[in-house]
């Protein structure tokens, strides 16, 4: 089984967020590895796909991901 791309890892994270954060830490770890492989410094998420698309939800997501070593930015921000 090959490692997922950044886009695939992000889709898994969107699905996890919609499912009440099921296996979120596993998906974040996959995203972190994919970012390292592709040489990216940050993950760009679409706020429209988030379960909580408000300022508090976005800031909470950024803080949670930052604690796990992934910098999150949002499209249009």
Instruction: Supply the pLDDT for residue 2.
Output: 77
Whether the CB-CB separation of 50 and 32 falls below 8 Å is answered with no
> Domain for residue 58, yes or no?
yes
Q: How many structural domains does the chain have? A: 1
pLDDT tens readout for residues 37-67: 999 999 999 999 998 889 999 999 999 999 9
How many Cα atoms sit within 13 Å of 52 on the Cβ side?
A: 11
> Domain for residue 35, yes or no?
yes
Instruction: Estimate the crossing angle of helix 6-18 against helix 24-38, to 10 degrees.
Output: 160
Residue-number span of the structural domain to which 49 is assigned = 6-74
pLDDT tens readout for residues 10-22: 999 999 999 999 9
Alpha-carbon span 19 to 15, nearest angstrom: 6
> Domain for residue 1, yes or no?
no
Q: Is the predicted pLDDT of residue 77 greater than 70, yes or no?
A: no
For the question of whether the overall pTM of this predicted structure is more than 0.85, the answer is: yes
């Amino acid at each position: 089984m090959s490692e997922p791309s950044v886009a695939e890892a992000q889709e898994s994270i969107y699905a996890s967020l919609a499912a009440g954060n099921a296996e979120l830490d596993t998906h974040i770890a996959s995203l972190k590895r994919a970012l390292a492989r592709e040489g990216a410094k940050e993950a760009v998420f679409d706020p429209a796909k988030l379960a909580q698309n408000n300022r508090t939800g976005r800031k909470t997501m950024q803080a949670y991901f930052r604690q796990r070593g992934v910098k999150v930015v949002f499209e249009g921000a």
